[in-house]
Amino acid sequence: MKLSDKEKAMQAGEFGPACQWAIDHQTQVGRMFDAEDMVEVSQAHMMADPESLGDAGVSFVEGIAQNGAKVAIPMITDPRGVDLTYYDPLGQTEEMANLERRFIAACTSMGIMMTDTCINYQTIMPPVRGDHVAYGDTGVVIYSNSVCGARSNFEGGPSALAAGLTGRTPRYGLHLDEHRRATKRFVVQTQPKDLMDWGVLGATIGRKSGSYWEVPVIEGIEKPPTSDEIKHMGAAMASYGSTPLFHVAGITPECSTLADVKGEGLEPEIVSKEDIADLYRPFGAKGEVVDVVVFAAPQLSLVEMGQVAALCKGRHRSETTDLIVCTPAQVYVDAKRMGFIDAIEGFGGKVLTGTCFYQQYAREIGEANGWKRLLSNSAKIVNILGGYGYQPALASMEDCVASAEKGWIV
């Protein structure tokens, strides 16, 4: 890789051991993906929950932070794994909370802003078209690339941290024009009606795309989705397909026409009703008892909080079914002020702040609370939680709340 004088100085240790580790890590990864040089980035966003980090990861970050290491650019964080105001009732241990505390202390000492959100594009500072960034959380990356027109690869926690320290990232993948062109063309026949439908559509296209290096272009969407709708579509697509970028013809910024993304020569593939039904089928469980209803993945926007609150108002959950809602601190404050939190908690639900359910030691909290059958409107979360011992099911937001009220899936 061709490095600038400043990058060579980082490599030589002139910017300290943290920066030296960071540039070494970046050049290893860059070489694997044939990066020719580095590109400066304006922001970094790090996913790092304590379940993923473990003691080894937290100790590693503490080691990076010692000796006064500081990030070189604005750097923010993905949801935490422990809501430090509510972990014992959830069945999380003091050991888990201590890992979280140690990690937060290390990050704060480096100047990292603990935003703890996977919807920073709705709450903090969305990137703009052409903006090179180093984001973690696949949902953040796919939204930023596709809807904002920014440029980021999936940057796992270590690489996002490296980018924060050096202010750059290897120039490969989605930073390059040639990897942003469409490689698969899908035609949608059925218009999604709600957030769950958008997620299921995204999951279907992600599964058909099947690789990080495929870029789907989608035709047939009749009207622009809302930010929450396209958020669910992107998050599910990234979850099922490891897909970091999609285009929607006539809607997303790099694709006014198919020709803009070199999509006109691609063979169109129909996304049929049967395809959608195939995706949904394993998650249908009408009539079965439900242990926990979860609204998360991605964290809820203020608009979604208002929608859940309106459905909860004047009702109460079944004694045998819990309701968990995850939202970032930025949203929580407004949701509290507007009465949404009170409505959800009046229903018997619990709103967790700055966390996301599947990043919260999902296996351990499931076992501690006896949660097996889980219901959500998030196509992403039901894809993840099978491996954690849950029996996940999908329903609309309305049916999720109604199921929590009845104690079985309506």
Partner 1 sequence: MPLELKCHVGIGPTVRGKALVADDNFSARYDLDRIKGVFSRPQHKLVGQSYRDVILVLNTAKGGVATAWMLHEMAARNIAPKAILFNSANTILAQGAALADMAMCDRFADGDVTQLIETGDDVQVDPAAGIVTVMNKALA
Q: What are phi and psi of 5, to 5 degrees?
A: -60, -40
* 271 near partner 1, rule: CB under 8 A: no
* 157 near partner 1, rule: CB under 8 A: yes
137 vs 304, beta carbon nearer partner 1: 137
Q: Does residue 282 have a cis peptide bond before it, meaning omega lies within 30 degrees of 0?
A: no
Show Cβ contacts of residue 310 under 8 Å, excluding neighbours closer than 6 positions. 343
52 vs 320, beta carbon nearer partner 1: 52
Only one residue has tokens 């599964």, namely 207
12 vs 32, beta carbon nearer partner 1: 32
Among 46-54, 124-132, 318-326, 331-339, the segment contacting partner 1 (CB under 8 A): 46-54
Of these, 12, 32, 310, 333, which contacts partner 1 (CB under 8 A)? 32
Q: Coil, helix or strand for 155? A: coil
Nearest approach, Cβ of residue 157 and partner 1 (Å): 5
* 128 near partner 1, rule: CB under 8 A: no
Of these, 15, 121, 143, 154, which contacts partner 1 (CB under 8 A)? 154
Residue 243: CB atoms within 10 A of its CB come to: 31
Q: How is residue 35 written in tokens? A: 């990066």
Q: How is residue 124 written in tokens? A: 């903090």
- Is residue 383 within 8 Å of residue 294, measured between CB atoms? no
Of these, 23, 48, 200, 261, which contacts partner 1 (CB under 8 A)? 48
Count Cβ atoms within 10 A of the Cβ of residue 253 and give its class: 0-12 exposed, 13-18 middle, 19 or more buried: middle
Nearest approach, Cβ of residue 163 and partner 1 (Å): 11
Q: How far is CA 46 from the centre of its chain?
A: 11
Residues between 288 and 317 with contacts to partner 1, criterion CB under 8 A: none
Count Cβ atoms within 10 A of the Cβ of residue 138 and give its class: 0-12 exposed, 13-18 middle, 19 or more buried: buried
* 17 near partner 1, rule: CB under 8 A: no
Site string for partner 1, 348-387 (x = CB under 8 A): ----------xx---x-------------------xx-xx
* 144 near partner 1, rule: CB under 8 A: no
Q: How is residue 283 written in tokens? A: 């998650």
Of these, 7, 15, 23, 57, which contacts partner 1 (CB under 8 A)? 57
Among 28-36, 223-231, 300-308, 400-408, the segment contacting partner 1 (CB under 8 A): 28-36
Q: What is the DSSP string of 382-402?
A: HHHHGGGT-EEEE--HHHHHH
* 28 near partner 1, rule: CB under 8 A: yes
b/e burial code for range 199-217 (CB count within 10 A of at least 16 → b) = bbbbbbbbbbbeebebbbb
Give a three-class secondary structure readout of 278-313: HHHHHHCCCCCECCEEEECCCCCCHHHHHHHHHHHC
Only one residue has tokens 């796919």, namely 142
Only one residue has tokens 């789907």, namely 216
Residue 230: CB atoms within 10 A of its CB come to: 22
* 156 near partner 1, rule: CB under 8 A: yes
Nearest approach, Cβ of residue 406 and partner 1 (Å): 27
Only one residue has tokens 């076992």, namely 367
Nearest approach, Cβ of residue 394 and partner 1 (Å): 15
**What DSSP state is assigned to residue 241?**
H
Interface with partner 1: number of residues (CB under 8 A): 45
48 vs 305, beta carbon nearer partner 1: 48
* 176 near partner 1, rule: CB under 8 A: no
Residues between 207 and 246 with contacts to partner 1, criterion CB under 8 A: 210-213, 238-242
308 vs 382, beta carbon nearer partner 1: 382
* 281 near partner 1, rule: CB under 8 A: no
Nearest approach, Cβ of residue 28 and partner 1 (Å): 4
Residues that bind partner 1 (CB under 8 A): 25, 28-29, 31-33, 47-49, 52-57, 60, 136-138, 153-159, 173, 210-213, 238-242, 358-359, 363, 383-384, 386-389
